[in-house]
Amino acid sequence: MTNSNLIQSAQALLKTSQDLVRLGLNRGTSGNASVRTYNEVGEAGFLITPSGIAVEDMAASDMVWMDFSGKVQGRKTPSSEWRFHLDLLAHQPQLNAVIHTHSMFATTLSTFQKDIPAFHYMIALAGGDSVRCAPYALFGSQQLSDYAIVAMQDRYACLLANHGLIGVGKSLEHALNITLEVETLCEQYVRALQVGEPHILSSQQMLEVQEKFKNYGSWAEKTLD
């Protein structure tokens, strides 16, 4: 990697991967992340974390560059989940980063194969009045990516059934904030269900929240274009 932008992107991707472990969102070799960038000759694509390497053993030079046809450039093999990273970045040009985790509470809820409803107004942070759950498909498969694309329409996050969580954003920092917030919401929902069935906010109430987010300080950057 000789291009300064590519180097900076690789360093930022490594830091985000380290933050995911530090925050307890990923462990060991689970999960992956990507960021949109250009290679050293100016071709459009993205960097993605390598397959099967624990974050503590990962270096910025291990990040793998791919273009949107699936061509690979790098010393390592890209994450087995590269397909939904490629498809999400290709389908949503306003997004620049994708994070996938096997975080505890999101993964727990994903095993029920149900959407997370608007039990809390912060659900709107994910872009709507629910966090959708994509149907189950084999990890790393094109079918899983196809399901994720549908679940992520007009959303910043979704669950993958019996698998985990995807969070996206306009930057790695944004995607990390979304991922952390949705995992927190998943923990709150699990705890609420231990007491009983929480009251669900109406579609109109959630529309009011989304409208307020558009003009509420730093929340403005977190609304979908």
Structure tokens at 1: 């990697």
Rounded to the nearest 5 degrees, what angle is found at the Cα of 204, between the Cα atoms of 203 and 209?
95
Residue 206 CB-half CA count within 13 A = 19
Tokens (6 digits) for 17: 């991967």
Are 99 and 33 contacting, i.e. CB atoms less than 8 angstroms apart?
yes
d(CA 212, CA 209): 5
Residue in 173, 194, 201, 175 with CA at minimum distance from that of residue 116: 201
Which residues, in sequence order, are bridge partners of residue 157?
Answer: 167
Tokens 């979304």 correspond to: 178
Looking at 81, 183, 187, 197, which residue is catalytic?
Answer: 81
Q: How far, rounded to the nearest angstrom, does the alpha carbon of residue 50 sit from its chain's CA centroid?
A: 16
In tens, the pLDDT along 157-167 reads 999 999 999 99
Q: Is 197 a catalytic residue?
A: no
- What 3-state class would DSSP assign to 133? strand
Residue 4: predicted pLDDT:
83
Q: Where are the chain's structural domains?
A: 4-222
What's the pLDDT score for residue 220?
Answer: 41
Name the strand (E) or helix (H) holding 102.
none
How many C-beta atoms surround the C-beta of residue 56 within 10 A? 9
**What class, spelled out in words, does domain 4-222 have in CATH?**
alpha beta
CB atoms inside a 10 Å sphere around CB 16: 22
Per residue in 139-162, pLDDT (tens digit) is 999 999 999 999 999 999 999 999
Write down the pLDDT at residue 216.
61
Averaged pLDDT score across all residues of the chain:
93
The Cα 156–Cα 166 span in angstroms is 8
> What is the pLDDT at residue 218?
54
What is the Cα–Cα distance from 167 to 65, expressed in whole angstroms?
20
Low-confidence ranges of the chain (pLDDT < 70): 1-2, 216-225
Q: What confidence score (pLDDT) does residue 2 get?
A: 53
CB 167 within 8 A of CB 156: yes
